[in-house]
Amino acid sequence: MKKPIRSRRGSRGIALPIVLVMSSMLLVTAAAWLEAALVSARTTTSLGERVQAFHSADSALIRCAGIALETVAEPGSPTGPLTAEPNKWRLKASFEGASASAVTLFASWPYGIRPPQCLIEAWPARTTNQAGAFLITARGFGRIVGNESWLQQEIEMGEHGAVRHWRRIVARPFQQGSP
């Protein structure tokens, strides 16, 4: 007995939809990989810029701390309670403009859009016979506009020398558009 031959008409055209589904799956996968690679590249670049800005501010902070310690002739009596924290570092005018009191310590800075700046503020003690302190604020820049890093160091003066307290300011203390 002969087997009946099936008609091919019922199975025609099934290969094209399968190929299209497989191609679209490969396209979606490739697009996801591309997007992941782009996000990774942006993240790496951003991290590198933040590190450059951080090192710029750190260099200015170290140099300003040295300048502040050189200006003190000799330490006073042990540090007493300090007055309220100086707040000149929170003002945009302290860092930008003609009346800026922040100093630019380096003529140029090859790793940033601008050289780093620092501001040294005296932090007096509450009593007159006590030694005071310095609040040093440093601002460093990356190669991209708006990428800044802010660092601070408090240096308390006492009879046994200087005691340093370091902190990082996470956010810019003033907005770009504020006075």
pLDDT tens digit string along 90-149?
A: 889 999 888 888 999 888 888 889 999 999 998 876 665 566 788 999 999 999 888 899
Place of tokens 């601008």: 114
The answer to the question of residue 26 being in a domain is no
- Number of structural domains (the chain) is 1
The answer to the question of residue 137 being in a domain is yes
State the average pLDDT over residues 36-64: 93
Q: Decide if pLDDT at 178 tops 60.
A: no
**Helix (H) / strand (E) containing 67:** helix 15-71
Place of tokens 């200087």: 162
The answer to the question of residue 109 being in a domain is yes
- What is this structure's pTM? 0.72
DSSP string covering 8-62, please? Answer: GGGGTT-HHHHHHHHHHHHHHHHHHHHHHHHHHHHHHHHHHHHHHHHHHHHHHHH
The answer to the question of residue 14 being in a domain is no
What percentage of the chain exceeds 70 in pLDDT?
Answer: 80
The answer to the question of residue 139 being in a domain is yes
The answer to the question of residue 99 being in a domain is yes
The answer to the question of residue 27 being in a domain is no
pLDDT at 162: 79
Please name the amino acid found at residue 82. Answer: L
Q: Decide if pLDDT at 43 tops 70.
A: yes
pLDDT at 174: 79
The answer to the question of residue 9 being in a domain is no
Containing structural domain, residue 47: 34-169
